Amino acid sequence: KIVASTPEIKSFNVIKGFLNLSVDASFWAARFKEIVETENYGVAPASGRTIMIEYSSPNTNKPLHLGHIRNNLLGYSVATILKANGHNVIKVNLVNDRGIHICKSMLAWQLYGNGETPESSGMKGDHLVGKYYVEFDKHYKQEVKALMAEKGISEDEAKKCAPVMLAAQEMLRKWEAKDPEVYALWEKMNGWVYEGFDVTYKAMGVDFDKVYYESETYLLGKSLVEEGLKKGVFFRKEDNSVWIDLEADGLDQKLLLRGDGTSVYMTQDLGTALSRFEENKLDDMIYVVGNEQNYHFQVLKLVLKKLGYEWSDNIYHLSYGMVELPEGKMKSREGTVVDADDLIEDMVATAREMSEELGKLDGCTKEEADAVCTMVGLGALKYFILKVDPRKNMLFNPEESIDFNGNTGPFIQYTYARIQSVLRKAGENIDSRLSNPESATLSDKELALIQRLVDYPAAVRQAGDEFSPAVIANYAYALACDFNSFYHDHSILNEADADKRALRLMLAQNVAKVIKSAMALLGIEVPNRM
């Protein structure tokens, strides 16, 4: 009955209790015609939802490292995918520009820096400040060791009374009291860091619509604490500190305000969340933060809920796993991190080396070769990181990521460049007169390619629903594999049948269109020549 009444269904069979329906090739050909005629294929109409996504959130005491790279690439890609799903997206960064860790770099520069500046040292500002963060830790450890030996005290006691740590704590008190000298030093050194960050963000290809600074937001939540006390949601201890008891919810007691009236991270995040939802009329707020903060965001949502803010249900913590290298974990204090700038530079250099070796740059001008190497190096880095489910820990292997075969960015980029080469050779002969692909006879490989193209909007939707660029990355890889399989079995330019040739050129053209669109959702550019 279905076959008789539905032209799209060609036939059916039953195998071991399963009913299989075969869709007629004309159905897929009609879908292909829609793809050809759709300008922004895969992009959904406006949804009317406003979503804010916070990512990056660096500290101003050190340069960005490999962990920040995963955070930035993930945040930027999810924002781009949500835009493709028709949402109004606001990308924000909250810079952690205050606190004891910032004072450690400042103090070390004061004590051991001899007035060194980015200009005098030739170092990027964020690298220079990071150097003094490591310097602080080195001197601190020496002092702790000396105190233990001289006074015979425990390591914990020595850590508390090490002169350099006491001096950093005093500097923080002065900063909070707006001491002019400390404040001027803070502004100067943070200025160096911001200039350095901007260079790294540009190289990474990420940006923000708005930047918040912790120094401006850390007092925001104090009025909410007062509100919670009045409602009886919070309670005050004898030392004047304010807490919330979440034990009935399976959590513990959480500090919201210290006894001396100073705020903690939670206080700030409560206030920032409220101001963001009210100012921007948000439907959703996504925080891209590592999985070591899972508990923090559980508490944040619960506290807001208990204060009566129903929109707390629309806060989502995009919790991602850590990035490790084949040689293990990284530590900022000890200066053993993989620096983001160095990694990007190395990736581009490796891409150049491999591209030259394989002859991928033959016939390119110097400018074209430079552009291709940058695209391939960054494409390799971004794709390798984004193809992994965000929730999983991952091992980043730079050599494995730059491979022109396998599930890599360069493989997909090379597939795109190969299609562009075919289209250039075809020149004016791409026959747009083939206005009725439904009449064409399609081979299995052509059908498979069209079916994959039809899947693209569903992949964009799924990636948006799951906040997972991995869905797009793996779709792009599957599409590139399907095209290469088709290209291996079918001649395009040498096809004698004019209709078949025109159809195959249109197929190639639209595969390239979708590859470019999918890779753009990952923040990856594709080269026209390679």
DSSP string, 368-396: HHHHHHHHHHHHHHHHHHHTS-TTS-EE-
Q: Which of 104-113, 223-232, 371-380, 436-445 has the lowest mean pLDDT?
A: 436-445
Nearest to 378 by CA among 69, 123, 83, 80: 69
| Whole-angstrom distance, CA of residue 194 vs CA of residue 217 | 18
Residues found in the chain: 530
Helical segments of 152-289, H only: 155-161, 163-176, 180-204, 214-217, 222-231, 265-280
Q: What pLDDT sits at residue 439?
A: 56
pLDDT grade for 333, boundaries at 50, 70 and 90:
very low
What the block records as the tokens of 492 is 């395009």
Cβ atoms of 45 and 39 closer than 8 Å: no
DSSP label at residue 55: -
Quick one: pLDDT at residue 80?
98
pLDDT of residue 436: 58
pLDDT per residue as tens digits for the range 355-382: 888 888 888 889 989 999 999 999 999 9
Q: Which residue has the tokens 């330019």?
A: 493
- Please state, rounded to an integer, the average pLDDT across all residues of the chain: 92
Question: What local confidence, expressed as pLDDT, does residue 433 receive?
Answer: 47
Other Cβ atoms less than 10 A from the Cβ of 445: the count is 17
Q: What is the mean pLDDT of residues 34-38?
A: 93
Q: Does residue 228 have a pLDDT over 50?
A: yes
Beta pairing class for 235-236 and 315-320: unpaired
Q: Give the Å distances, CA to CA, from 323 to 45, 261, 271, 480.
A: 35, 37, 31, 27
Confidence tier at 300 by pLDDT (50, 70, 90): very high
Q: What is the model's pLDDT at position 349? A: 92
d(CA 491, CA 497): 11
Q: What is the DSSP letter of 360?
A: T
In DSSP notation, 399-437 reads: HHHS-SSSSSHHHHHHHHHHHHHHHHHHGGG--TT---G
User: Both tokens of residue 158?
Assistant: 């020595």
Span 268-282, mean pLDDT? Answer: 94
Alpha helices in 281-361 (DSSP H): 294-306, 340-357
Please give the average per-residue pLDDT across 432-460, as a whole number. Answer: 82
Q: What is the pLDDT of residues 85-96, one digit of tens each?
A: 999 999 999 999
Do 161 and 143 touch, CB atoms closer than 8 A?
no
Contact, 10 vs 3, CB < 8 A? yes
Q: Which of 393, 309, 367, 319 is nearest to 66 (CA)?
A: 393
Distances (CA, A) of 259 to 82, 236, 249, 349: 42, 9, 25, 54
Provide the β-strand partners of residue 50. Answer: 88
The neighbouring-strand residues paired with 264 are: none
Rounded-to-10 torsion of CA 439, 443, 444, 445: -110
Alpha-carbon torsion 444, 448, 453, 455, what sign? positive
How far, in Å, CA of 366 to CA of 181, rounded?
Answer: 50
Q: Pull the structure tokens for residue 244.
A: 């919330």
CA–CA dist 93, 519 (Å, integer): 23
Q: Label residue 17 by pLDDT band (50, 70, 90).
A: very high
Among 369-378, 393-402, 410-419, 441-450, which is the least confidently predicted range? 393-402
Give the model's pLDDT for residue 289: 96
Q: Encode 372-396: b = buried (16+ Cβ within 10 Å), e = exposed.
A: bbbbbbbbbbbbbbbbbebeeebeb
Q: How far is the C-alpha of 220 from the C-alpha of 261, rounded, in Å?
A: 13
Nearest-10 Cα torsion for 331, 334, 340, 346: -110
337: three-class secondary structure by DSSP: coil
